[in-house]
Structure 1
C-alpha cells in the first residue's frame, strides 16, 4: 500500500511539473496549420507588361477574350490564339473561306482603330467584353497618347506591339507573354526567325545582283509601292526597288505615277498587286513597250486569305520572303518552296492545303 501512495505522490509531482511547463511555453504551431496557411496564398490575377510604345500596362494573367485594333494584329492573333478572338476588323473576302475555320466568319465586326478607313465600333467592342486590346504595327510619335486615350475610353487595357519584317519573331514572343501562351508563341517566333535569317543570308550572297523590280497597284497598274515606304519593306529587301518618288505614301494603294515614268524605270520584273492590271497588260500595246512584259517577267502577288506581300504589311510577309526568293532567285533559293508554303499555312492559318488550293494560289505567280 505504501508503494501505491509513493506512486501517487510521484504522479502528482509530474502532473504539476507538466502543467507549469505548458503554462510557461508558447503553444507549438501544428504542421496541419502551416499547410492550411500555405494553401491560402492567392495567385496574382494581373501582370505588368511593358509594351513597345513605352507604356506600362496591367493585363489579366488568364486571358480568354481578345480584341484587335486592326488587320495586322488580327493576322498575328489568328496564328497564335484564334480561339480568343472576339471580333474582326472587317468582313472576310471571298477567298478566305477556302482556308479558315467557319467559326471565324461568325464573329462580329469591330472595325479598326487606325488607317484611312478607321472606324471602331465601340458599342460592339464593349458588348464582347474583351480582357485586352492588342495593337500591332508601326510605332508613331503620337501612338502612346492615342492608346492611352483608347484605354481610358473603354476601360480595357491596350498593349502595343511593334512589328516589321525583321522583328516578327520578337513580336510573337511579346504577344505570347501577354496572352500567357509562351510555348505556342515560341514555335511561331522560331519559324519567323529561321525564314528571315535564311533569306537574309541568301540576299547577302546575291549582293548587288538584285533584280530591278517595280510593284504596281491599282486597277490601271499605274500606282507603285515606292522605295522606302512602310509598305515596301519586303520589296526593298528582296529586290532593287527602282520606284523612287518624293515623300512616298505609307498607304497600301501606293503612289500614283504616269506611264512615262514606268517607261523610264523599265524594270526587269513587274509585280502586280492582286486585282490590279495583271490580266490585261499582255494585250495592251502601251504596256508591251516595257521589257518585263516583253520577256514575260511579270507576275501577280499571291493572295489568300491575305496578300502575301503586304497591304497590310504583317506577318504574311514572311511567306512573301519565300515567294520572292523562289521567284526572283531560283538558282540561289534553297529548300522545297511548295513544302514551305504548306508549312506556313499549317502554322499561321491552321489549314492543310490541297494541291488544288496550292495551284490556285500560285496560278499567276510563277510565270506569265
Structure 2
C-alpha cells in the first residue's frame, strides 16, 4: 500500500474521542484517534514548543525532535541526547511545517499539543488523527493548570512518579504566587508591558496565554484590547498613554534601542530603570514558549514585584528548578543575568 492509499484508509477509520475535565476550568485535554495501546508510549511527537518542553521535563528520551529551532546557547545547556535531536518542525498553530506523510513516516505513538484550545485547534487535531491514525492529545496550556498538565502527561507517557514530583513543585510555585497576590502590603498591582519584537511594539495582550506569568505574579498588563487576545501590535502613542511601571523584553537589542530612543525614554519604566530583560535560557522564563517553563519566570517575577529586584533566595530557586525540571546545572553567568536583568546587556 503506498502512502496516498495509507492516508486514505486512515481517513475512513473510526475515531475514538475522549476528554478529561478539570472541575475548576473545564476540559484539560481532548483525545482523538485510537485509544492508548497496551505498551507504554515510547515515541512522542510534540506538535508545538510548549508540548516539547512538557515532554522534555517528563520523559526526554521519548522525544522524536524539537518542533522549533532552539538557539545555540540553549542547545549547549541541554544533555547530549536532547541537544542532538533534529528540528522536526511544528504541526500546531501558524507556520506549520509538518506534512501528514512525513508525520506518519516518523512513527510516533502519540502526538501531544499543549496551548490554546478552541474550535479551530480541536478541528485540526481531529482531522490529523483521522488522516494519520495516530492518537492526538490536545491539552489546555494555562499556567495555573501546570500541576494537572504534568500529571496527565505523565500518565500518558508512563512516568507517573516523575510527573508527581514536578506537579508538587509546580503547585508550590503557584501557591507562592497566590500568597504574593494576596499580601495587603503590595498595594496597587504594578502595571507591565511585554515588548516582544525588535521595535518593542508587538506584545502579548491582556487575557492571553502570553501574559499569564505577569498577571499570576500580581501585575496588570496594560495592553488590553476588548476585541482580541493573543499577540498584537500597538502604537507608540498608545504605549505612552499607558506609561507602564515595568517594561519587560526578551530581546537584548531592544534594551539598547529603548535607552537611546527619545520616544522610549519618555516612559517611566525606561527613565527609572524598570526596563527588564527576561532570561531566555534554555527556554523563555515568562513566554516563548508559553509552557511550564513559565513557572521559573513566575517565581522570578514575584521577587521583582515585591522588592524591585530578585533576591539571594532566587538564585537557590533557579538552581533547584534547573536540576529538578531540566536535569541540568544553571550556569553562573545565567544566575548573574537574572539578578541584574534591569541593567540589561
Q: What CA distance in whole angstroms lies between the structure 1 residues aligned with 2:138 and 2:274?
A: 40
Where do residues 271-310 of structure 1 align in structure 2 (5 Å cutoff)? 271-275=248-252, 277-310=254-287
Superposition TM-score, scaled by structure 1 size: 0.79
Extract structure 1 runs of 4+ deviating beyond 6 A: 331-335
Partner secondary structure for residue 254 of structure 2: coil
Structure-1 residue corresponding to 2:241: 264
On the 8 A contact 2:207/2:229 being kept in 1, the answer is no
Structure 2 SS opposite 1:134? strand
Aligned to 2:220: 240
Match of 1:91 among 69, 76, 86: 69
Instruction: Return closer, same or farther for 1:58/1:48 CA change in 2, 3 Å cut-off.
Output: farther
The answer to whether the aligner puts 1:224 opposite 2:187 as a matched pair is: no
Distance 1:96 1:109 in 2: 14
The equivalences for 1:115-264 within 5 A come to: 115-206=93-184, 208-238=187-217, 239-250=219-230, 254-264=231-241
Worse-superposed segment, 129-138 or 326-335 = 326-335
Q: Deviations over 1:184-219 (max 9, x none)?
A: 100111111110011111111156421122112211
RMSD: 2.5
Question: Residue 345 of structure 1: SS of its match in structure 2?
Answer: helix
Once the 2 structures are TM-superposed, how far is the Cα of residue 363 of structure 1 from its aligned partner? 6.6
The answer as to whether partners of 1:327 and 1:366 remain within 8 angstroms in 2 is no
Q: Could you tell me how far 1:366 is from its partner in structure 2? A: 4.1
Distance 1:91 1:241, change over 3 A: closer
Q: How many residues are matched?
A: 318
* Residue-by-residue CA offset, 1:21-64 (whole Å, 9 max, x unaligned): xxxxxxxxxxxxxxxxxxxxxxxxxx997454444651124222
| TM-score normalised to structure 2 length | 0.84
Determine the C-alpha separation between the residues in 2 that align with 1:195 and 1:94.
29
SS at match of 1:314: coil
Deviation at 1:168, TM superposition (A): 0.5
**In 1, Cα distance between the equivalents of 2:54 and 2:299?**
18
Check whether the contact 1:66–1:85 (CA below 8 A) recurs between aligned residues: yes
How far the C-alpha of 1:333 sits from its partner, in A, is 8.5
C-alpha distance in 2 between matches for 1:335 and 1:284: 33
**TM-aligned CA deviation for residue 240 of structure 1:** 1.8
Between 1:58-67 and 1:176-185, the stretch displaced more is 58-67
Match of 1:12 in 2: none
Tell me, which stretches of 5 or more residues in structure 1 are unaligned?
1-46
Whether the 8 Å CA contact 2:147–2:171 is kept in 1: the answer is: yes
1:301, 1:309 within 8 Å by CA — same for their partners in 2? yes
Structure 1 equivalent of residue 23 of structure 2: none
Q: Is the 8 A contact 2:76 2:83 kept in 1?
A: no
Q: Which runs of 5+ in 2 are unaligned?
A: 1-15, 21-27
CA distance in 2 between partners of 1:74 and 1:65 (Å): 12
Say which one has the larger Rg.
Answer: 1
Cα 1:48–1:58 change in 2 (3 A) is: farther
